[in-house]
Structure 1
């Protein structure tokens, strides 16, 4: 999958995209139907990154629909993500964490969202695994607050795996040129799409809750997840 690119900067339509954020990305895997990229925001410590950067320490899998100019045959499908964040114990404000002597608590969030167009996310399943007083306790079925996040353009500075992106771009261009040739029959692309869905499957939560029109299970700018966790554990 390719995207609008200049040098090492590429732009995708991503859930939670924010033009004012500086996001760095490493290409993990890329094929004609799915791209997996590790995203984070540079020049901040862990806490600052999570508060001010929507895509801190996040591995995301996207489809061809995320390109700035999607191919005509691009099918919509899913966006999957895994995000790890570490908070001070006091930030969680839950009975489990407050009973713990651990100063810093790490949570791993999993999400899997359905995409019906290049700009609309219809539903998500998600969960959070938090290492607290009960090791690896799983917090599930959180009722999400209405989210204002949508899919928007996000510039990403590719810091690793640029050759994978360039190779995919060249393959796509060669395929288009071959199929549009005036001499001889169209040439079918030989690029393999094997493993396109298996890559994203690892981010799907096993214990999850479906929420209509919900993009992520958390909003770093307001720390809404902390309130959701508190409400769930105290009810």
Structure 2
């Protein structure tokens, strides 16, 4: 009798946990058993693997063993909704953070470009100013260096071809260019212009005078750190 009861129990276990399960939608799973469940679904393990199905699709006997729990399903859905909302907020926060980082990076880049442009403009303005000062200093230098005879008139025109800062010396510049020295020496003997008109008289005085033009190539070290700026000129 004892052995018969054990056999019947084994048969019931086999039919409940390792039997063929036919669903209401027509699907059928052999050697199948329910391994887990949620308030609305079960997971069936069978020869083909694992399949999740709605409890409503189970046969009546299995629906009684695994009833639908509406209250638990509603609670589970609420928790899932809260989790989804939290995930959305986290994602939105990440997107906003990325947008702020990108905006800050773009602002920093724009600021760097603006600063570079302003720095370049400031350097160009300083170069133009120092170039004018260097030209004036060089013209004074050549006027003093090439002395003229008493009564002579002299002019100097300096052309700067290149001007650049010396490496490591922010107040020292290397200047290259040319100086055109023009000298006009009127005749010391009065010119007889009797009977000449103004134009003829001017030509006669010019022919009697001395006029010279000289061009000098130079390279100069121009230092603005001192007052007045210092100038060291080398003729080429």
Q: What TM-score comes out, normalization by structure 1 length?
A: 0.24
Name the structure where helix makes up a greater proportion of residues: 2
Rg comparison, structure with higher value: 2
Q: What TM-score comes out, normalization by structure 2 length?
A: 0.24
Higher RCO (CA < 8 A, seq sep 6+): 1
